[in-house]
Amino acid sequence: MQLDLQMAIRAYRMVGDAGTVLALQKLESVEDRLVLAGHIALLRGYPEKAQEFFIRSPQPILALEMRMDLLHWDDSLTLARKLAPERVPSIARQCAQQCEFRGDYARALQMYQLGLEGAPGAHTAACKAGSIRMMIRTGDVSRGVGMNRSGLGIYAHNVTALATRIDDVALWRDCAAILENMKQWSDAAMLYEKSDAVEKAAAIHIQTKNWNAAAPLMPRIVAPRLHALFAKAKEAEGSYKQAAIAYENARDWDAVVRLLLSQLHDPEVPCSLFLTLLM
């Protein structure tokens, strides 16, 4: 490899390759020939050769930075263990995030837990949250888990309980959505309710006919559809007063009138029902 940058720049100018000209011009200040050779090899599309040059140069850390820039996380971890062990947790987290995006949840869990070895702070919080998401994704929902060694806190009855011990609303909603897709209704509803996504929690309770769990949430629900479903359930079980109130919240005035005339003969029926009908 000649490494004659000036000649190369002139040649690429002659063929009209402006991008390569600019890239080469940025390398004109590089003095070490091995570092320069590494950059040239990378520019030509030979990362393995570039890594070899960088490792032999006075700046071997460039090999790690190249692999990270290329998102070659396995190679990055291998190099980090040799060149910069303190960067392993951060690289593991980035690898985990890519694995999670690709749907490789078992590998993502492994990497998030490796990332827990890093310093406390936002990084560790992200790894804890990621570990919990991946435990759920990989089916570890109800099996007891003890994560003291990995920094996830004291033993928890299950992963959902573990999630609730981390004060992270976004995590609760993420886990709730995962659990809902897995048809783990009870845990999903509990996390939705904890994260103040009450309509989603109520929708699950209504879908699973858990009326007792849905009832306390209904005063906070806006969606008429949910009130209508709840009203029909209450009417079916003979709770006509509750059904009438729910029909009112659903804006189903015909159903309200029907219940008032056919079922309710109680002076304690909420006045708002009558006032609404008279307006």
> What tokens does 172 get?
């609760």
- The answer to whether the beta carbons of residues 148 and 190 sit under 8 Å apart is no
Instruction: Tell which of 11, 39, 68 closes a domain.
Output: 68
Percentage of the chain lying above the pLDDT 70 cut: 86
Boundary (domain end) residue, out of 43, 68, 93: 68
Contacts of 49 by beta carbon, 8 Å cutoff, 6+ apart: 41
Answer whether residue 4 is part of any domain.
yes
Residue 5: Cβ-neighbour burial (10 angstroms; 0-12, 13-18, 19+): middle
Q: What is the pLDDT of residues 125-135, one digit of tens each?
A: 999 999 999 99
- Is 179 a domain residue? no
Count of structural domains, the chain:
2
Q: What is the pLDDT of residues 223-278, one digit of tens each?
A: 888 888 888 888 777 777 777 888 888 887 877 777 777 766 654 555 455 545 44
260: Cβ contacts below 8 Å, ≥ 6 apart = 244, 269, 273, 277
Q: Is residue 45 assigned to a domain? A: yes
Task: Classify residue 145: in a domain, yes or no.
Answer: no
Angstrom distance (rounded) from CA 95 to CA 104: 11
Q: Looking at residue 129, what is its pLDDT?
A: 92
Last residue of a domain, one of 33, 68, 103: 68
Structural domain includes residue 123: no
Q: Has residue 240 been placed in a domain?
A: yes
d(CA 2, CA 81): 33
Query: Could you report the per-residue pLDDT of 101-124, keeping only the tens digit for each?
Result: 999 999 999 999 999 987 778 899
What's the pLDDT tens digit per position in 82-98? Answer: 999 999 999 999 999 99
Residues spanned by the domain of 52: 1-68
